[in-house]
Amino acid sequence: MKGNFRDLYLIGLCLLLIFSGVTCAGLFTKTPAPEIDPGFCMECHQRVTPGLFQSWVESKHAKKGVHCMTCHIDHQAAFEQKSMVFPDKCGECHPQQLEEFKKSRHSIGWDRMRGQGEYLGIPQEIRTAFCERCHIVQKRCNSCHTSHRFSLKESREPESCGSCHLGPDHPHKEMYETSLHGIIYKLTQNPERAPRCVTCHMPGGTHNSSFGIARGPVGTRSVVVDLKEIPISKEEIARRREEMLGICTGCHSRRFAKEQMDNADQVKEEAFILQEKGKEVIRDIEKEDLLYPSLTERMPHPTEGRTMVLADPQLYIGTSHIERLFFTMFKFHNIRVWKSGYHFSPAYTHGYGWSEMQMDLIEIQEESKKLIELFKEKKK
Amino acid sequence: MKGNFRDLYLIGLCLLLIFSGVTCAGLFTKTPAPEIDPGFCMECHQRVTPGLFQSWVESKHAKKGVHCMTCHIDHQAAFEQKSMVFPDKCGECHPQQLEEFKKSRHSIGWDRMRGQGEYLGIPQEIRTAFCERCHIVQKRCNSCHTSHRFSLKESREPESCGSCHLGPDHPHKEMYETSLHGIIYKLTQNPERAPRCVTCHMPGGTHNSSFGIARGPVGTRSVVVDLKEIPISKEEIARRREEMLGICTGCHSRRFAKEQMDNADQVKEEAFILQEKGKEVIRDIEKEDLLYPSLTERMPHPTEGRTMVLADPQLYIGTSHIERLFFTMFKFHNIRVWKSGYHFSPAYTHGYGWSEMQMDLIEIQEESKKLIELFKEKKK
Amino acid sequence: MKGNFRDLYLIGLCLLLIFSGVTCAGLFTKTPAPEIDPGFCMECHQRVTPGLFQSWVESKHAKKGVHCMTCHIDHQAAFEQKSMVFPDKCGECHPQQLEEFKKSRHSIGWDRMRGQGEYLGIPQEIRTAFCERCHIVQKRCNSCHTSHRFSLKESREPESCGSCHLGPDHPHKEMYETSLHGIIYKLTQNPERAPRCVTCHMPGGTHNSSFGIARGPVGTRSVVVDLKEIPISKEEIARRREEMLGICTGCHSRRFAKEQMDNADQVKEEAFILQEKGKEVIRDIEKEDLLYPSLTERMPHPTEGRTMVLADPQLYIGTSHIERLFFTMFKFHNIRVWKSGYHFSPAYTHGYGWSEMQMDLIEIQEESKKLIELFKEKKK
């Protein structure tokens, strides 16, 4: 009975549309949102994209009357924007979150990517399939808040962060999962037993995910900069370290937490010293003009020009083999050592980090010796 | 009390067996299944293999009266076949599943393995511990439907597929788990929120897992073949792509889904072009006779003979170092780039794929230069 | 009201403390535990380390009246020992577990580490962040029984073991997770369906985790030693194998289980033979004095002195490149082959093991050829 009634309703709706002169084509003319009945979207999308529809039905948005047009404006706008909804739109209802988000590095993700040598050096297809999928976080709140369910519970789980923060050059997900923090959380699913990513990096739900990050002069030698590339002061760094220690002391004694942080600072310094040894060997080789291809034989660096770039923003394309060995050393292994120092993953600090760096150095030294033996006489 | 009663019962049963002339040895004579009371198997196996017994007790089989002898025939047959039950046996009750299975590549897994150079080149122990554990899918429905519980729910989870589809040369499991699809499914455990392997590859429960797979001329240059090694037509490939898009549009717009697929096609083509650059360098080295060991110094390829094989069915045993570098490039890294293009894992497309391929190429070029410098003069 | 009452209580307690001459400093004087009211700890720690406090509240310890002072003795002792509680303390209530633990290799983890060349060769910061985090198992029952909840359920999950047993050189966690055992357990979370680590290695809850480990002369050539470094007899090894088979037969037939074990023994032997081929190449290079740096140019091995060490206790620091290639072969790849033989992970036996070993051998042979070509004439 209910089904039959519904069918009649649908037929009636169609007749109404036809006789009122509204055709499907008409939908693509720019009509202000409020004049379109939200129920209208449902009629089609319930059938053509049922998964998407069902996610929305179960969302808090649906319960509060936030419907398709609230975010997508109208069918024409949605079509033109490929259904994207930008943070400013979300901020109309969630102003505090937008404001906090704009203080985080997430909010400059896309712009920073567009200026990076690595991005500039690869085909557009790979950019689309790789870089842009994550860096679009600047333009999409649904990078973390999966559409159209927008579940708070889901977005707070480590898996959400891990959709981008993983892989050879920033294995935050892997480091967390192999730390006691991650293991206890996996066992208990209880954020009061062990921290999740958001516990330390977005405490109290702040959308400024740069909270408490105090990388920098304390044992590092790399300068921490703010969103405008201005170096952050020692005082600010010290303040952020205190912020983070304030989180640790929820479970640990301040003494213990500070010891762990201090040790991580020193781990970072040790790894930096080791990395620099690799750099020195390669600089000597470059002075002897033994790089193949040489700096003049290769494409110039997209942002740095015709110079040898070791460590950021070094590329992995078209360089010499000895530089490529250093790329692995600094980009994959050094980063694992020090980042897992702060994330407490012994396997990544040493097994996937420190020991690999030592082996990289052996390889770099061997390559240097071979290059000298093979080509130095010739150059003379 | 209950235990004592049970002991008496067992003693009684033994006496009965002894006095009726049935000894344990007698069990191994070929007796037709129906004449043996299924309860008879239980008496022993409940004790000697309790885990296995308990799994069966909880199965739908047990509830429907499908017992040991239904599948294993009798004790003698089970002993001779090492307890294996072949798909044709399962097909007696599940004919549609068997028919669909026989259309899938799963159904030729064992036979294809037996003719592969890689299989032929390794010791039997490694074959047993590796190749055969997965390729036996041709002969065992319980590769996916774990015995003796045969839970449909379990077999549909990504973990089931991931028991074979993982590892350096076909990390489907890893690519899925690092895609938004896999992450949302992990978070929600709800197949209506995000697809599992079976959603796209076995829709509607079909056991033809080749559904919708349209790899081939569209941006690939490798020919897709059917089970009899006959190339599949462009029309058939286009039809399969449409099949797959029909799945995507459950949640995504057709435009979005098609864009993603087209981009993956292009990613595949880009990776192929890059791979070919590596091949060219090695072909030049081979022309100069600088492979060590040379083609005449080494064991011939088990299926291709005394020729240099680059890409499938290339081996990783006993080749020159420069060929081994290419093995890694094509077998691990290229496959990750393009397969994760279709599985939407940015980390595998780039971090474990494209950037590794670029570094492989640098290594291959460097090795080529060294080989020429070291050995070319000598050869003259 | 309740809050106000509590405040009054706290003020009252403070006044009481002040007027009774007990100041905060006084707490650090060594006072015997029983004289301090356990409630006293709670007053502060409920606020300053709420996560820790909450874990204890939910523990069986709390329910049974085991409180802070029961384990930490007093505030001064806790401060001096950095809150550590040693196994002998736990053994006061859990004597059987302590006794069993002392038979396991876990109980010599710290001492063995302190004598290892690898440990001696790295900076203290890395030791702290890596080695010591796991090897401290000798001194901390809460390595597995996470404090302060001490949940038996949690400690029995594979994740607990996996906090240390993971990573490139002992990927037990990864091998288990990619075996059918691990996959079925992950799917079902039911230890009656598939074994967890403790099912086979700590059956019946024994804390002697060396149960059933029968590595040794059966197809291995490496001698199994007991805790005092005394070789274990063949008879004892055979007995342990039987112990382990006794676990397997809970689900599998003895014939099947024995076949699997025998095959793993053979896999181990095959991998050993392959590894020795790599060793031979390097020994020849060393005889020709072609190692760079040579044994006299480098730091002596911390425990073995000025000698070339191939396989345990070989280091990855400051050796020649050809030795470093062998390090990867024996330490990462060989171990994966044979250990996953016994853990039934095809991906690790072959993909991350056997095929990598074969490629290591190619690289070692190539390096040898280059070293001879480049430096042999010169040496003459």
B326: which chain C residues are within 8 Å (Cβ-Cβ)? none
Cβ burial, residue B217 (10 Å; 0-12/13-18/19+) = middle
- Tell me if chain B has a CB within 8 Å of the CB of A369: no
- Tell me if chain C has a CB within 8 Å of the CB of B157: yes
B84: left (phi over 0), alpha (psi -120 to 50) or beta: beta
pLDDT of the residue at B27:
36
B178: which chain A residues are within 8 Å (Cβ-Cβ)? 163, 166-167
Which among A322, A312, A307 is positioned nearest to A363, based on CA atoms?
A322
Among residues of chain B, what percentage have pLDDT more than 70? 87
Average pLDDT over residues A268-279: 94
Cβ within 8 Å, pair B129-C349: yes
Distance, in Å, from the CA atom of B205 to the CA atom of B254, rounded to the nearest integer, reads 23
Distance, in Å, from the CA atom of A100 to the CA atom of A161, rounded to the nearest integer, reads 17
Cβ burial, residue B303 (10 Å; 0-12/13-18/19+) = middle
State which residue of chain A sits closest to B342, comparing Cα positions: A129
Residue C220 has pLDDT above 80, yes or no: no
Q: Which residue has the tokens 């460590």?
A: A311
Cβ within 8 Å, pair C130-A349: yes
- Tell me if chain C has a CB within 8 Å of the CB of B122: yes
**Banded model confidence at residue A232, pLDDT cuts 50, 70, 90:** confident
For residue C239 the two structure tokens come to 């007995």
**Banded model confidence at residue B214, pLDDT cuts 50, 70, 90:** low
Chain C nearest-CA distance from B303, in A, is: 19
Residue C278 has pLDDT above 50, yes or no: yes
Q: Which residue has the tokens 């923003």?
A: A313
Establish whether this prediction's ipTM goes over 0.90: no
Average pLDDT over residues B190-218: 84
Residue C31 has pLDDT above 70, yes or no: no
Cβ within 8 Å, pair A149-B193: yes
State the DSSP code for B107: G
Q: Which residue has the tokens 């002072």?
A: C69
- Tell me if chain B has a CB within 8 Å of the CB of A160: yes
Distance, in Å, from the CA atom of B288 to the CA atom of A287, rounded to the nearest integer, reads 32
- Among A227-231, B278-282, B340-344, C276-280, name the one with the lowest average pLDDT: A227-231
Question: Around C355, how many Cα atoms within 13 Å sit in the side-chain half-sphere?
Answer: 23
Count the Cβ atoms, other than its own, within 10 Å of residue C374: 18
Which among A234, B34, A352, A304 is positioned nearest to C169, based on CA atoms?
A352
Distance, in Å, from the CA atom of A155 to the CA atom of A202, rounded to the nearest integer, reads 12
B122: which chain C residues are within 8 Å (Cβ-Cβ)? 354
For residue A122 the two structure tokens come to 């690869």
Q: In the complex, which subunits touch C with 3 or more CB pairs below 8 angstroms?
A: A, B
> Taking a contact as any Cβ pair under 8 Å apart, which residues of chain C between 162 and 191 contact chain B?
178, 180, 183-184, 186-188
Question: Around B180, how many Cα atoms within 13 Å sit in the side-chain half-sphere?
Answer: 15
Average pLDDT over residues C361-378: 93
Residue A221 has pLDDT above 60, yes or no: no
> What are A303-327's pLDDT values in tens digits?
999 999 999 889 999 999 999 999 9
The contacts of residue B326 (CB under 8 Å, 6+ apart) are B278, B279, B282, B310, B311, B314, B360, B364
C contact test, residue of B140, B321, B335 with most C CBs within 10 A: B321
Question: Around C343, how many Cα atoms within 13 Å sit in the side-chain half-sphere?
Answer: 27
Which among A163, A171, C176, A332 is positioned nearest to B176, based on CA atoms?
A163
Residue C71 has pLDDT above 50, yes or no: yes
Question: Around A307, how many Cα atoms within 13 Å sit in the side-chain half-sphere?
Answer: 9
Distance, in Å, from the CA atom of C239 to the CA atom of C297, rounded to the nearest integer, reads 48
- Among A20-24, A277-281, C74-78, name the one with the lowest average pLDDT: A20-24
> What are A115-169's pLDDT values in tens digits?
888 899 889 989 998 999 999 999 999 999 988 999 999 999 999 999 999 999 9
Residue B324 has pLDDT above 90, yes or no: yes
Distance, in Å, from the CA atom of B141 to the CA atom of A31, rounded to the nearest integer, reads 56
Coil vs helix vs strand at C301: strand
For residue B35 the two structure tokens come to 């004449």
pLDDT of the residue at A215:
58
Kind and range of the H or E run holding C115: none
